[in-house]
Structure 1
Amino acid sequence: MSYSANPERYELMTYNRCGTSGLRLPAISLGLWHNFGGIDVFENGRAMLCRAFDLGITHFDLANNYGPPPGSAEETFGRVLKDDFSAYRDEMIISTKAGYYMWPGPYGEWGSKKYLVSSLDQSLKRMQLDYVDIFYHHRPDPNTPLEETMAALDLIVRQGKALYVGISNYRPEETREAARILKRLGTPCLIHQPNYSMMSRWIEDGLQDVLDEEGIGSIVFSPLEKGILTDRYLEGITPDSRAAGPSVFLKPEDLSKERIAKVKQLNELAMERGQKLSQMALAWVLRRGRVTSALIGASKASQIEDAVGALRVPDFTDEELARIDAILK
């Protein structure tokens, strides 16, 4: 059956201006880091993408190495784009990245112009696209001059392969310098993608100030702290959980008794607010407008519905924010 988008989708989402640009992003964006690879069930991935768009999520975040195997998430997205979303391409923000290992030899990772241009060409083929809306450098490269990496991003925009460029995992001073180089070249840095959650607040120590000063937006990944800030682990590690399996992202030591006790206290506050813990965690990173969009992952469509529901509860009171800080101190 052919897909037809929900006509009321834009009434269900909040859209925030990305830095000082003309672009607005949905407050909740969907990432394809997990559960959209070649090893995953295609129809589940398709259902999640369609449900996300029906809820007003217009931004889909990918990278060259997402899968597994690497590249297969882009292939999955390209297939859904062709079969279901072709009529809606101009309503979507599609992003991808390059920086991590993709192929053997000296040109298969990091930040050289050779690697970035080659990688994006491959990504466009996998997604069956002429251009992406945002192209990111995925991580700083200590061995390539920042001028070369930023010049590659500028070149990619001038070639028409991306409309905007961004950076990910850059520290404050690297971000400031990258922004200044890009500004000189005439291709401003649109957005930064760092990790951020109630339990991981490093961006508050300088990066957010740099982004404000430079007019750069932000989209934060891992706002649920790898699933810890959900009701998933309130009773510890269950046999069917990610932490019980071979996950390289979440280890049993991430779920100490002390940490679980804090999560239970946060869950009590969330219930008082009429939210799930995951919804409160998303609302927290979006509080008071310093973050443009929260990037979620999902394994089923209902999780995306929950995430969008985080936008329907009033902002935090000063007392609630102080309680969260006290719990996590």
Structure 2
Amino acid sequence: MPYLADDKRYEKMIYNRTGNSGLLLPAISLGLWHNFGGADSFENGRAMLQKAFDLGITHFDLANNYGPPPGSAEEMFGKMMKTDFKPYRDEMIVSSKAGYRMWEGPYGDWASKKYMVASLDQSLQRMGLDYVDIYYSHRPDPHTPLEETMGALDQIVREGKALYVGISSYSAEETADASAILHRLGTPLLIHQPNYSMFNRWIENGLQEVLEKNGTGSIAFGPLAQGLLTNKYLGGIPADSRAARSGTFLQEEQVSASAVEKVQKLNEIAEKREQSLPQMALAWVLRGNVTSALIGASRVSQIEENVKALNNLEFSEDELKEIDTILQ
């Protein structure tokens, strides 16, 4: 059966303006970092993407190295564009990034113009797209002049390979400099993608002010702290959890007795708000000037639960003070 999107999908989502631009992003976006690669079930990934779009999630966030193996998440998304999403391309925001090692040799890593341009060409081919809506510099490159990286992003927009550009994990100072360069070139910095959650609040020490001053939006990745801000760790570390496995996810030492105690206290607040802990954590991230919260998922039910965070985005002064006290 051909996929037909839910005709009420836009009634189920909140859309926020991205900085000073004309672009609206869904308050909840879906990232394809893991669980959508060649090592994963295509049908499960397909079901999650379909459900996300049916719930009004129009933004799908990828990168050249997402998988595993690297590149396979974009290939999977490319199949979805061909079989399911082709009629809806103009209703979607598709983003990709380059900045981490993707191929061997001196030109497959960091953020030189050579790498940024070549990587996007490969990403477009894998996804079967003529352009991406947003293209990011995935991380700052200490070896390449910032002017070169931003110049590559400007060139990519002028060539029609991306509509907008963004950066990820840049400091407040680096973001201000990048924004100034792009402004001079005539390609505004649309968005910044930082790691931001109740347990990682670094953007509150200057970055948010820089973004607001420059009219730049933000999309928070890791809003659930790699799963720590879910019900999974309320009793410690379960055997099937990310923290129980080695790799790039949550590490066992991050699930300390102190962290578990904080999670338990936060969960008590969430219950009073008639929310699950992850729903409250997403609402908390969105409480300020954050445009969108970027979630990951391994099954359809997680997406459905996370979107319900939008049912209660308001916090009282007392709730915010109590949360701050717990986190301190």
TM-score, length-normalised on structure 1? 0.99
Aligned to 2:250: 250
Does the 8 Å CA contact 2:18/2:216 hold for their aligned counterparts? yes
Distance in structure 1 (CA, Å) of the matches to 2:147 and 2:299: 41
Aligned to 2:270: 270
Superposition pairs of residues 97-246 of structure 1, within 5 angstroms = 97-246=97-246
The alignment status of 1:41 with 2:41, answered yes or no, reads yes
Distance in structure 2 (CA, Å) of the matches to 1:57 and 1:27: 8
Distance in structure 2 (CA, Å) of the matches to 1:198 and 1:227: 12
Which residue identity does 1:10 align to in structure 2? Y
Aligned to 2:88: 88
Aligned to 1:319: 318
1:239-295 alpha-carbon deviations (Å, 9 max, x no partner): 11111122322111111111101100000110000000000000000014x100000
SS of the residue aligned with 1:85? helix
SS of the residue aligned with 2:20? coil
Distance in structure 1 (CA, Å) of the matches to 2:246 and 2:314: 37
Distance in structure 1 (CA, Å) of the matches to 2:156 and 2:78: 20
Distance in structure 2 (CA, Å) of the matches to 1:265 and 1:247: 28
Which residue identity does 1:57 align to in structure 2? I
1:154-206 alpha-carbon deviations (Å, 9 max, x no partner): 00001110000000010001000100100110110000000000110000000
Which residue identity does 2:226 align to in structure 1? K
Give the number of equivalent residue pairs: 328
Which residue identity does 1:310 align to in structure 2? A
Aligned to 2:286: 286
Distance in structure 2 (CA, Å) of the matches to 1:181 and 1:146: 8
Distance in structure 1 (CA, Å) of the matches to 2:98 and 2:228: 27
Distance in structure 2 (CA, Å) of the matches to 1:245 and 1:14: 35
Q: Which blocks of at least 5 consecutive residues in structure 2 are unaligned?
A: none
Distance in structure 2 (CA, Å) of the matches to 1:323 and 1:58: 34
Distance in structure 1 (CA, Å) of the matches to 2:111 and 2:251: 30
Distance in structure 2 (CA, Å) of the matches to 1:187 and 1:251: 39
Aligned to 1:25: 25
- Greater CA drift, 244-253 or 105-114: 244-253
Distance in structure 2 (CA, Å) of the matches to 1:190 and 1:251: 32
Aligned to 1:62: 62
Distance in structure 1 (CA, Å) of the matches to 2:171 and 2:129: 31
Distance in structure 2 (CA, Å) of the matches to 1:248 and 1:133: 27
Distance in structure 2 (CA, Å) of the matches to 1:100 and 1:278: 29
Which residue identity does 2:240 align to in structure 1? D
Distance in structure 2 (CA, Å) of the matches to 1:210 and 1:243: 34
Does the 8 Å CA contact 2:223/2:281 hold for their aligned counterparts? yes
Does the 8 Å CA contact 2:286/2:313 hold for their aligned counterparts? no
Superposed displacement of residue 229, structure 1? 0.3
Which residue identity does 2:76 align to in structure 1? T
Distance in structure 2 (CA, Å) of the matches to 1:48 and 1:236: 28
Superposed displacement of residue 314, structure 1? 4.5
Distance in structure 2 (CA, Å) of the matches to 1:184 and 1:248: 37
SS of the residue aligned with 1:247? coil
Distance in structure 2 (CA, Å) of the matches to 1:258 and 1:186: 48
Which residue identity does 1:46 align to in structure 2? R
SS of the residue aligned with 1:84? helix
Which residue identity does 1:304 align to in structure 2? I
SS of the residue aligned with 1:56? coil
Does the 8 Å CA contact 2:283/2:313 hold for their aligned counterparts? no
Aligned to 2:327: 328
Identity, in percent, stands at: 69
Does the 8 Å CA contact 2:287/2:313 hold for their aligned counterparts? no
Distance in structure 1 (CA, Å) of the matches to 2:40 and 2:2: 22
Distance in structure 2 (CA, Å) of the matches to 1:241 and 1:112: 37
Superposed displacement of residue 54, structure 1? 0.1
Distance in structure 2 (CA, Å) of the matches to 1:314 and 1:220: 16
Does the 8 Å CA contact 2:287/2:314 hold for their aligned counterparts? yes
Which residue identity does 1:211 align to in structure 2? L
Distance in structure 1 (CA, Å) of the matches to 2:107 and 2:312: 47
CA RMSD of aligned residues (A): 0.7
Does the 8 Å CA contact 2:17/2:291 hold for their aligned counterparts? yes
TM-score, length-normalised on structure 2? 0.99
SS of the residue aligned with 2:95? strand
